[in-house]
Structure 1
Amino acid sequence: MDRFPFKTAGAHFVYAKAGETIAVASSAIGYANGSIRVTRPDGTASNYTTTSARIIDRAAELLGPSWPGSPAGYTPITIPVDALTEGIWKIEFFAPRGSGNSNDINVADVSATGNWIQPTGNTSNYVAAWDVSVRGSSGWLTGRVYANVLNLTISGNFTTSTKGFYGINYVLTEDGRAYRVQSNGNNGYAFTFFSNNNGFAVNGVPTYKSLNVVNTTGLHDPRTLDDALNKTHKIFYNRPNADLPETANAFVTGPNQQMWLKKNAILPIITNVKFTGVEGTEGKISRKGAKISFNSSTSGSFQIVIPVSGGADRIINGAAVQGYNEVFWDGKDGNDVFLPPGPISPLVQTFLRSAEVHFPYIDMEINPRGIIIELTENNTTYTVNPANTNPSEYSDVVYWNDIDITNAGTGTDSSNPVINITTGQHSNTNGHKFGSYNTRNESTQFGNDRSMDTWAYIESERTTQLVNIEILLADLRIETITPDLNQYFSNNKITYTVRVYNDGPSAADGSKLAINIPAGLIIQNITPANISGAVTINGATTVGQNYTATLNLPNKGAIDFVIEATFTGGFNQVFSSLKASIMRPPDLTDPDATGKNDAGPVDPDEECLNGTTATIGICNNIKYNTVNGQEVCMANPIVPISYTLSPDGTQIENSALPDALSVQNASGTRTVSGSITNSGIHQFYIKTTGTNRTQTNAIIRVIAPPNATADGPANLCVDATGNPVISFQGSIADRSYEFSYRINDGPIQTITTPTGSNTATIPIPLSSSGNFTYKLTLVKDLATGCSVVKNVAVTVTVHPLPAQAHIELIQ
């Protein structure tokens, strides 16, 4: 546990002008490693060890520094200031131990008005008395010296109020206001005293709580420079001098740094409050939240109260910078519940705290009388005027929240009230009192090993502004993709119907529809149909294989898009994965399709990831359909049709299959194969049970086998006339065929019918007699490619001519 988390070598800062003189002295200079280091604004440093600048006792301290012609208690080291060194100097007081650290926290039990004791050994880590003064042409000046942090030790005697710490300081804030602060008898034995604008904070935003442990997490280091959200206030021993400039050149952590001193105070006010969805739509809010923007007249802490009908009001606290500010609101009420969808018009209340001062007490065991913090009037005399009823000119109201402290609310040592964050308490009456003067060991005191925070501020007038916003939530869907395949074989045509639906409850105006048509299909028409409600279409465009449109979809609004597409070539084609998607407009929550893209909805696939890192998004906003077309001859096997399980299901289903087809399942894939035994057109689908996110529709035309006859004369004579032939005739007129045949079991020969004819003839040779058998072995339909084995024979007998007759004349 570190009582001094922000150790310094007693660092102080002094503002001095050209022609003035800085005077320094301490009770430790010259003892062992005791010294004083003076660093000019440009970083040039001088180290002094002269014993003549030693404050030797309480009497000398009270007499103060001497000056030629006016001797006093001690002779300080004097450093003249010129035009090049005008600004803020850093003065460091080293104890006899020097620059090393020490765990020695034991000091003499001496009254503040008594004669203190300066330890002189080389292990001593304390300076009992120190002085930084500025001398001008007219004498000594006050209100020029300040510290950012004081590491102090007093006697660890908790028995009586006389042993407490009663330091009085003026704390000057970065926004130009000052408080008189009276420690009023607290006792931390060894403790750190400083003031900032946000106490124990998270990312610069005050937590407005004391901590149950000694913890500097969230405390801005007072030894470092301020930033936009973290300001360390300046602790003056006297009223700040009226001639302090607004800024001055300084050495804080490095040379020639600009440091604020006395700024002109600005009345705190918040204006121009706007609610904009995180994706950029003013007045529209999704469950991704909203940006609340406002203008602040000055830096400070703010509070925004969003009233919630039927729920707990949402209160947002934060740190504001002067000018434009943004704060995130997650769209939830005070109970961490999302606001329901719909329009709301809350009277949003805002106020700004300026000149906010926090006093984090690290390991302050007791504060029985409370700290007194009083706002001074807004002038250069810093008047403390309790009679002034204007709270922006005088207030002694302070706040605290000790709810997390062990034993808070029990026993006499607890703060009371434990939580004081609304109306505050007058610090002249109760300035965050805790602990009591008693003989108990320090480890049993209420503030021991704790981080206590007390704060005060100037609060702007609470203003209300009517804000019209709408919480948007809508479940957008591609309901179905239905292919009509009735003209697949007759007109080489597929007609798809894509149904889009908004299941609400909010309207989804500006939703983006995209339909990607598979390669091989030629888009003929895309026509809206079956429009319900006030659905409207804007910017419909077809480019290549892609159709896009912007839709205004009211609650429960639906619309069909009928896509007529044709194809060329054969019927054995697979038109894979027609894709249809509907994507939400900005700042609307789609329950299963709201991505994390900071730019808003630009890619439906990313939206369907819904914030996950999966490679495939699962949502009802995207669907796919594949058409598998085949033409096969009866008894021939189909090309196997495979379907992979959709990621949003666990089982595959299909409609009734034609006879003789079978299914095989392996590793989430279903394959349909086999030979169809019935001719005609057969259709079926395969999909994942309970969803049609992905679906395959199959259409198969099974062609009956061709038939043919063979015909010819049975008997002929050699050299018969009339050109007799064998005829092969297919079963369908005007269809071309190919016939395979043999003559007398000779080699297979083929003959093709003329185009548009179903008959082919083979001349019968008549040059010799004999029996000739013409056997039809195969017939092939040239239009379909289907063939069938035949065994049809025609036997022709060619008879020889009779012998020539011998004619005799009979006398």
Structure 2
Amino acid sequence: METGNPNKGDLGAASPARKTTLFVYANAGETLALGSSSLLSTLSTTSTAINVYAGEVNLTGTVTATPVKVCKPQADKTGYIETRLQETSGPNTLNSSGYIPCAYTVPTGGTGVYTVEFLAPTPVADNGVTANTVGNAWPTPTATDSSIAAWDVTVVKSGAAVPGRVWTTYLAMNSGGNSRPVVLNLFVQTKDGYLYKMKQNLDPYGFVFFANNKGVTNTSGLPSFQSAPVASATYGSPVVGADTGTNITHKLFFNTPAGDLPSTVGSDWLRTASPTTPPTPTGLTFTGREGTAGYAGSSSGILLGGTFTFTNPGNQSFSYRLTVPLSINGTNSNRVLVGTATPGTNTVDWDGRDGNNKTVAAGSFSYVASVTLFAGEVHFPLLDSENAIGLNITRQTLSDASAGLIYWDDRLLTQTNGVSNNTAGAPNPDVTPAGADSTTTPQHSWNTSFGDKKIMDTWAYYPSSPATASNAVQVRSADISIVKASSVTTAPRGGTVTYTLTIKNLTANTPGQPLTVTVADALPAWATTSSWSCPSGCAATSGTGALSTVVTLTNQTPIVITVTTTVNINNVVGSNLVNTATVTRATDATDPDMTNNTSSVTLVTRDPVTHLDLVKTVRNMTPPRTSAASSNATGLPGDLMEYVIRYTNTGDLAIPNLSVQDTLAGTLTPLGAVLLCPSGTSVILAAAQSYTVPLSNAATCGVGTTVPANGGTGTLTITARLK
């Protein structure tokens, strides 16, 4: 046992001092029997001693407390443990084969915790340790010793030992070298009332061991559930008094904790009689990365994953383990996600990979995730233990089939980007998502000094009943295509061209329909304006400018969008006009063929053609001589005649400033006229023998009115009576 070695060396700067301090609970009238292998009488002038302090005292810094008892070497060997037999026998007041104890009787009113400090002859030094096999005599202590081979604290009441009253917050030990197996038998008492029995089968040199509720922490101060290099690892200090509300150091007892220990002493906890049990989580669901419940997709060949949501119905935080059963597809391994669940709603991100960092292919498999909450969480960090044969850890509280399960994840030390580094001596396996049973077989082993300069974390806990997701995770596939087409091969400068975009899901029976995709058709540099229409299936039925709209696809029914684009008149005749439309893959779906998600049309620029068609018809509207509209008609005086002049722009460019003119014959009496504008608006005109009607006029079709190209049309209808 080390008593103040100042050299943290391979333990890392964050390591606690290499000084083991013991704590003992005793009632008034009980006696503390104390012994050390360093209290040899010839060393009385050295620093070797056993000091007893009232209360819990941090002895790793400046100590201002005064001991209530000091044991120094004596000629009569009081407090001196000379042999292995004396060590195992305890004080001779209980066993004649034992050592002569240095005794301290707790005074009236003194019930509580006492701190016991063991000091070697040269406590604050790094003078090495002479190795010794258990059962053999240890070397006679010398003035330069900086560690202690044997020590004892026994609580005596009415002539009998009271086991289970002595503990520590961490052990700083030194075996003197490797290839010297060390076996530690301890009982770990957690603050929330769980007891674990552990047997450590190690092969360390100088090392530190403690137990806490978080192990190695992440940047948020939460459990990382990983081992790590000591140089970068962060963790709660196990020094007495360093705990906070969320960072808890559990207590390492050397025997089963005594049943008469109180739950608290002063501000510290000792033994919680009724353990805290975790509630069953509720409301587990999955939502894909892009917002679709139950489905996940991929982008550029990488599965996007998504988010799990569940509720912790308790009033305190618990660790969780969320399992995605990917192994049912016969290719992937299960993915286990761990973390801390606060009261209320919790979200857990899944990156879409399995337990071996492999992607998950699209298919018909449905993965129903489950989540479990844990109480009694305990981590067993080992600092700088070069080798380990393995650990046996068994939960004693609420013992069940899971009582011996322990977990570890050393991939931070064994892999780079999911690929094994093939490090010699690394644990195999290097991660145990489902746990490993350590009840009889030691688990979590490493050799070839793999644990050098590392903090190797192992953990255990008590599980709630698992909750399964109300919706499954399905990696779905949908081959989305877009086809852009035009009925012409040339485009007039200053004119317009019309395209059709046909969007379709080529995959039959894609689950989770309808699917949503985004269609885009940018306004090309050779164009000035654009408009589009979508009768059904689009988020909007029409728009202007660049096209970008969400399209809903059901089954394999296509959606058609019509786009009309105006060609800049400055384009050079004969130049190619390329126009490209794209469609995204469906949200939270894998698109197996992205080559058909883009479609282009190339037209050749030409000069525009200007052409206006003008047709005049007449019909008799008086029965019984009514007739169909034609180029001529007959009638009698008094008959009502209708003349229609239709203008149609069949050219490539809109016609501005058009004026419609007509003069009635002298045999007709005008009754009035109606102008139908290109926009479809009707304007009533007064009766006149002669009409000159400009369309671009505020009184007619409106200032700036043009007749649109490629079919823009309107009429002037005149009624008159034959004289």
Question: Under a length normalisation based on structure 2, what TM-score does the superposition of the two structures give?
Answer: 0.55
Q: CA–CA distance in 2 between the matches of 1:11 and 1:199?
A: 20
Label 1:545 to 1:21 Cα distance change in 2 as closer, same or farther (>3 A): farther
Which of 315, 325, 333 is matched with 1:306 structurally? 325
Partner of 1:636: none
Distance 2:593 2:159 in 1: 77
Report if aligned partners of 2:178, 2:204 keep a CA contact under 8 Å in 1. Answer: no
Q: CA deviation at 1:94?
A: 5.2
Offset of residue 552 of structure 1: 0.5
- 1:587 maps onto 2:572 in alignment: no
1:52 aligns with 2:70: yes
The equivalent of 2:471 in structure 1 is 467
Q: Which runs of 5+ in 1 are unaligned?
A: 67-71, 251-257, 379-387, 406-412, 436-442, 530-534, 594-617, 626-653, 659-675, 682-698, 702-811
In the other structure, the counterpart of 1:149 is 170
Give a deviation string over 1:2-46, Cα, whole Å, max 9, x none: 565535252447587999999897857986556769697798942
| Paired letter, 2:128 | I
Partners of 2:134 and 2:474 lie apart in 1 by: 66
2:210 to 190, 194, 210: 194
Tell me whether 1:223 sits opposite 2:246 in the alignment: no
State the shift of 1:365 in Å: 7.5
How much has 1:305 moved relative to structure 2?
4.0
CA contact (8 A) 2:155 2:163 kept: yes
**Alignment-derived partner of residue 306 in structure 2:** 290
- Provide, for residues 461-517 of structure 1, a one-character-per-residue CA deviation record: whole Å limited to 9, x for no partner: 66655633443454656643759799968xx75243251424554566343446676
Query: Please, what is the CA RMSD of the aligned residues?
Result: 6.4
2:501 partner amino acid: R
Q: Following superposition of structure 1 onto structure 2, how do residues 604-753 of structure 1 map, counting pairs within 5 Å?
A: none
Counterpart contact for 1:110–1:116, Cα < 8 Å: no
- Tell me the secondary structure at the aligned position of residue 550 of structure 2: strand
Per the alignment, residue 560 of structure 1 pairs with: 560
Q: Any idea what the Cα deviations from partners look like across 1:519-566, whole Å, max 9, x if unmatched?
A: 99998974336xxxxx62334464x74666432024655433334577
Of residues 50-59 and 166-175 in structure 1, the stretch that sits farther from structure 2 once superposed is 50-59
- Contact 1:26-1:93 at 8 Å conserved across structures: no
Equivalent residue, structure 1, for 2:533: 527
1:266 maps to which residue? 277
1:236 to 250, 253, 258: 253
Residue of structure 2 equivalent to 1:106: 129
Report the Cα distance in structure 1 between the residues aligned to 2:308 and 2:11, rounded to whole angstroms.
Answer: 39
Partner in structure 2 of residue 667 of structure 1: none
Higher-Rg structure is 1
Q: Using a 3 Å threshold, how does the CA distance of structure 1 residues 586 and 425 change in structure 2: closer, same or farther?
A: closer
The one-letter code sitting in structure 1 at the alignment partner of 2:193 is G
Match of 1:610 in 2: none
1:73 aligns with 2:101: yes
* One-letter amino acid matched to 1:106: V
Give the residue type in structure 2 aligned to 1:74: C
Residue 125 in structure 1 maps to residue 164 in structure 2: no
Q: Is the 8 A contact 1:305 1:348 kept in 2?
A: yes
User: Are the counterparts in 1 of residues 171 and 210 from structure 2 also a CA contact under 8 Å?
Assistant: yes
Shift of 1:236: 1.6
Q: Deviations over 1:647-669 (max 9, x none)?
A: xxxxxxx87788xxxxxxxxxxx
Change in Cα spacing, 1:563 to 1:657, as seen in structure 2 (3 Å) is: closer
Report how far residue 306 of structure 1 moved.
1.5
In structure 1, the residue corresponding to 2:329 is in which secondary structure? coil
CA contact (8 A) 2:309 2:346 kept: yes
Q: Is the 8 A contact 2:286 2:306 kept in 1?
A: yes
Matches within 5 A, 1:332-371: 332-333=353-354, 338-341=359-362, 344-348=365-369, 350-351=371-372, 355=376, 357=378, 359=380
Q: Is the Cα contact below 8 Å between 1:16 and 1:22 reproduced in 2?
A: no
Cα deviation for residue 319 of structure 1 reads 3.6
Give the Cα–Cα distance (whole angstroms) in 1 for the partners of residues 563 and 428 of structure 2.
75
Paired letter, 1:499: L
- Cα separation, 1, equivalents of 2:354 and 2:295: 16
Shift of the alpha carbon at 1:152? 1.8
The sequence identity of aligned pairs, in percent, is 21
Equivalence map 1:157-168=2 (5 Å): 165=182, 167-168=184-185
Task: Give distance in 1, aligned partners of 2:363 and 2:244.
Answer: 40
After TM superposition, give the deviation of residue 168 of structure 1 in Å: 3.5
Q: What residue in structure 2 maps to residue 770 of structure 1?
A: none
3-state DSSP class of the match of 2:70? helix
Query: Is the 2:580–2:598 contact (alpha carbons within 8 Å) kept by the matching residues of 1?
Result: no
User: CA shift at 1:180, angstroms?
Assistant: 2.4
Residue 509 (structure 1) aligned to one of 506, 515, 521: 515
Instruction: Map 1:175-190; keep pairs closer than 5 Å.
Output: 175-183=192-200, 188=204, 190=206
- 2:286–2:469 contact (8 Å) kept in structure 1: no
Distance in 1, Cα, partners of 2:29 & 2:394: 32
Shift of 1:179: 1.6
Asked if structure 1 preserves the Cα contact closer than 8 Å seen for 2:353 and 2:359, the reply is yes
Q: Deviations over 1:251-273 (max 9, x none)?
A: xxxxxxx9997773315745432
Matched, 1:316 2:319: no
Do the aligned partners of residues 4 and 139 (structure 1) sit closer, same or farther apart at CA in structure 2, a change above 3 Å counting?
Answer: farther
Partner secondary structure for residue 19 of structure 2: coil
Amino acid aligned to 1:240: P
CA contact (8 A) 2:324 2:367 kept: no
The question of whether the paired residues in 2 share the 8 Å contact of 1:205 and 1:317 is answered with no
Structure 2 distance, partners of 1:526, 1:348, is 44
Q: Could you report, residue by residue, the CA deviation over 1:440-478 in whole angstroms, capped at 9, with x for unpaired residues?
A: xxx989999998777655455666556334434546566
Shift of 1:285: 1.6
Structure 1: distance between partners of 2:496 and 2:431: 73
**Residue aligning to 1:550:** 550
Amino acid at match of 1:329: W
Secondary structure of 1:107's match?
coil
Q: What is the CA deviation profile of residues 290-314 of structure 1, one whole-angstrom value per residue up to 9, with x for unaligned ones? A: 1223345673462514143353342
User: Take 2:168 and 2:185, find their aligned partners in 1: how far apart are those partners?
Assistant: 13
- Matched residues in 2 for 1:279 and 1:39: separation? 61
Q: Hey, what's the Cα distance between the residues in 2 that align with 1:138 and 1:33?
A: 31
Q: Residue 24 of structure 1 contacts residue 132 of structure 1 at CA under 8 Å; is this kept in 2? A: yes
Amino acid at match of 1:509: L
Letter in 2 for 1:286: G
Counterpart Cα distance in 2 of 1:373 and 1:518: 69
Determine the C-alpha separation between the residues in 2 that align with 1:338 and 1:587.
15
Question: Matches of 1:79 and 1:546 in 2, distance apart?
Answer: 90
Structure 2's unaligned 5+ residue stretches are 1-7, 74-78, 95-99, 299-303, 415-424, 611-650, 654-723
Question: Could you tell me how far 1:289 is from its partner in structure 2?
Answer: 0.9
Identify if the C-alpha distance between structure 1 residues 232 and 527 changes in structure 2 by more than 3 Å, giving closer, same or farther: same
Q: CA deviation at 1:58?
A: 2.0
Q: Which residue among 496, 499, 503 is the counterpart of 1:497?
A: 499
Alpha carbons of 1:588 and 1:432: their partners in 2 closer, same or farther (altered >3 Å)? closer
Match of 1:278 among 280, 289, 304: 289
Q: Tell me which amino acid in the other structure corresponds to 2:17.
A: T
Q: AA paired with 1:306?
A: P
Q: Deviations over 1:559-595 (max 9, x none)?
A: 333345779xx95589x998966556653456899xx
Give the deviation of 1:151 after TM superposition: 1.6
SS of match in other structure, 2:129 = coil
Q: Which residue of 2 aligns with 1:745?
A: none
* Higher RCO structure, 1 or 2 (CA under 8 Å, sep 6+): 2
Equivalent position of 1:644 in the other structure = none
Q: Deviations over 1:730-749 (max 9, x none)?
A: xxxxxxxxxxxxxxxxxxxx
Q: What residue number does 2:648 align with?
A: none
Asked if structure 1 preserves the Cα contact closer than 8 Å seen for 2:297 and 2:588, the reply is yes
8 Å CA contact retained: 2:480, 2:506? yes
The answer to whether the Cα contact below 8 Å between 1:53 and 1:76 also exists between their aligned partners in 2 is no
CA distance in 1, matches of 2:428, 2:383: 20
- C-alpha displacement at 1:107, in angstroms? 3.5
Q: Deviations over 1:763-785 (max 9, x none)?
A: xxxxxxxxxxxxxxxxxxxxxxx
